[in-house]
Amino acid sequence: DTAVSQTPKYLVTQMGNDKSIKCEQNLGHDTMYWYKQDSKKFLKIMFSYNNKELIINETVPNRFSPKSPDKAHLNLHINSLELGDSAVYFCASSRRGGNEQFFGPGTRLTVL
């Protein structure tokens, strides 16, 4: 059973389009995160949610809007995609009060 899953695994789209990436965890964790890994392999936090409430927002453009319908899901919607949004996006989760994060397999987004 996959602990943290993401869909799709690959996403290729044109500039200006709107797309969503979905994340689900079956670990019963309260906190979920989105990280971005760019072409130079730097991994950076974007958002975190604790039980559906936004906790961390790391100066990410307003075009990025996370949505957490319940504590097991944290989806990432991106409006007006730009070339610089091309990256691998990782979802992660952790239990309440913990720092051991479980990462998903990543979604490779390519904006043409």
Partner 1 sequence: DAKTTQPPSMDCAEGRAANLPCNHSTISGNEYVYWYRQIHSQGPQYIIHGLKNNETNEMASLIITEDRKSSTLILPHATLRDTAVYYCIEVSNFGNEKLTFGTGTRLTIIP
Q: Which amino acid is at 92?
A: A
Q: Contact between 48 and partner 1 (CB under 8 A)?
A: yes
Q: Contact between 28 and partner 1 (CB under 8 A)?
A: no
Q: Given candidates 11, 21, 31, 81, which one binds partner 1 under the rule CB under 8 A?
A: 31
* DSSP code per residue over 19-52: EEEEEEE-S--SEEEEEEE-TT--EEEEEEEETT
Q: Mention every residue, 6+ apart, whose C-beta is less than 8 A from residue 103.
A: 4, 35, 90, 91, 92
Binding segment toward partner 1, per CB under 8 A, in 10-18, 19-27, 72-80, 99-107: 99-107
Binding site for partner 1 (CB under 8 A): 4, 30-31, 33, 35, 41-45, 48, 50, 55-56, 58, 90, 92, 94, 96-106
